[in-house]
Amino acid sequence: MSATRIERDSMGELAVPAEALWGAQTQRAIENFPISGWRMPRGFLRALGLIKAAAAEANAGLGLLDPGRGAAIREAALKVAAGEFDAEFPVDVFQTGSGTSSNMNANEVIARVAHSLGGMAVHPNDHVNLGQSSNDVVPTAIQVGACLGLRERLLPALAHLRETIARRAHEHRGTVKTGRTHLMDAMPLTLGQELSAWASQVEQVEERLGDAGRRLRALPLGGTAVGTGINAHPQFAERACAGLARLSGLPFTPAANPFAGIAAQDGAVELSGQLNGLAVVLMKLSNDLRWMNSGPLAGLGEIELPALQPGSSIMPGKVNPVIPEAVAMVAAQMMGMHATISVAGQSGNFQLNVMLPLIAHTLLWAIELGASAARLLADRAIAGFAVREDRLRAALARNPILVTALNPLIGYEKAAAIAKKAYASGRPILEVAVEETGLDRERLEKALDPLALTRGGIVEGLPGGG
């Protein structure tokens, strides 16, 4: 049996591993919640450390902590924020709904580290948690962690994905292909136009995520137990949020109504909804890539994704679209995570949400998954796919839907008859149109030019076309 020491809290004595930095309340949580083995995420621990540092600075500035003790707590908390003591945070995600166990884990670790730094007694509750409650600290940590994750991980990853798509779109602005609606042949467009839609989707996701993130910068810190600010100095919230802003580089402010920030998690649910929207976009892009890459002989075969690994344990030479498949699975996971956060978000009973650790874990994980998947899709699939222009040209030549361009001249019914004959005979639409319309071949070639058809409007050379 490993060596232990005896720690005490309001419930009595408890044996704690001798070398552990945590105390009795953390140990009780370890013993009470042996559920998943999932620990609170790095982004949450970072946010906790920053909050405790900002709180110590605020309390010292207000004269509630002596300068030496306040400085030691701040230094210890910043070490927690930097990840120096992540191993000292063993509490399971599935714990008390307020996240009190994780808050006390931070308080105990920071108190012990601060004691070693400053050589003075530091109490987890009286000093590290001064002017705070788990009920305002944990929601604040969720918001701070999410805002930092957006700024540092997800939004840069999405910008990279968008820029990668836009670069490939520019390369293929003149590459014409068959469009598809209902998975059936439709009017042509350029590959650049198709990719531009992807880039626009990603850009809109960026905008929506940024908008949701701005609302998360209003923090309930200082509301303490139920939002009234009991045991916190009247200036604590403003000073602590200003300190968080300095430490993080983000413009955090006190919430206009801390009661709402403690009782509900509407901001987290909103952000989760936008992450769900991102998942939908990632799934759409991944599936389009899979379809375009399908084959290489019996599928569409429009592009060749980079060959990254053997695709089968039994079929030699098979290569699969592994990156889009992996990203599609990430998207499916993120959609499920939004359902989790939606249920957790409505679990606010009167003055407190009681699924805060689950929201923290799921929201921050979704941000990380989305960021990793976006970069992977950009770098390992979109940046390197090759275009099979011969396949694109062959499909265009046989596409009977090109006859749509003749509607203004010969009418819909006649155009439909030409399309059906071309399809049934397997002949190019141009040849059938020459036979059926009596128009000269040069005029029809101009009218049915696939690249011209990607520019919209009435085709030049037909009545009303100029």
Q: 217 φ, ψ to 5°?
A: -80, -10
Count of residues in the chain = 466
How far apart, in whole angstroms, are the C-alpha atoms of residue 459 and residue 466? Answer: 8
User: How far is the CA of 204 from the CAs of 32, 129, 211, 276, in angstroms?
Assistant: 44, 40, 11, 13
Q: Is 235 helix (H, G, I), strand (E, B) or coil?
A: coil
**Could you tell me which of 387, 373, 241 has the C-alpha nearest to residue 301?**
387
Rounded distance, CA 109 to CA 116, Å? 11
The residue with tokens 């293929």 is 172
Alpha helices in 216-253 (DSSP H): 236-248
Q: How far apart are CA 246 and CA 243, in angstroms?
A: 5
The alpha carbon dihedral of 281, 282, 287, 288 has a sign of positive
Catalytic annotation, pick one of 36, 116, 170, 312? 312
Read off the amino acid at residue 206.
Answer: E
Answer for the pair 253, 263: CB distance below 8 angstroms, yes or no.
no
Give me the half-sphere count of Cα atoms (radius 13 Å) on the Cβ side of residue 106: 34
Q: Is the dihedral of CA 207, 213, 217, 223 positive or negative?
A: positive
- Mention every residue, 6+ apart, whose C-beta is less than 8 A from residue 334: 275, 276, 278, 279, 282, 366, 369, 370
Of 181, 197, 185, 179, nearest in space to 453 by CA: 179
Q: Check if 182 is active-site.
A: yes
Q: Which of 72, 77, 80 is nearest to 120 (CA)?
A: 72
Place of tokens 């909804």: 273
DSSP 425-437: HT--HHHHHHHHH
**Catalytic residue of the set 182, 196, 272, 313:** 182
Q: Which residue blocks in 232-355 are alpha helix, DSSP H? A: 236-248, 258-263, 266-293, 322-345
Catalytic residue numbers?
A: 182, 312
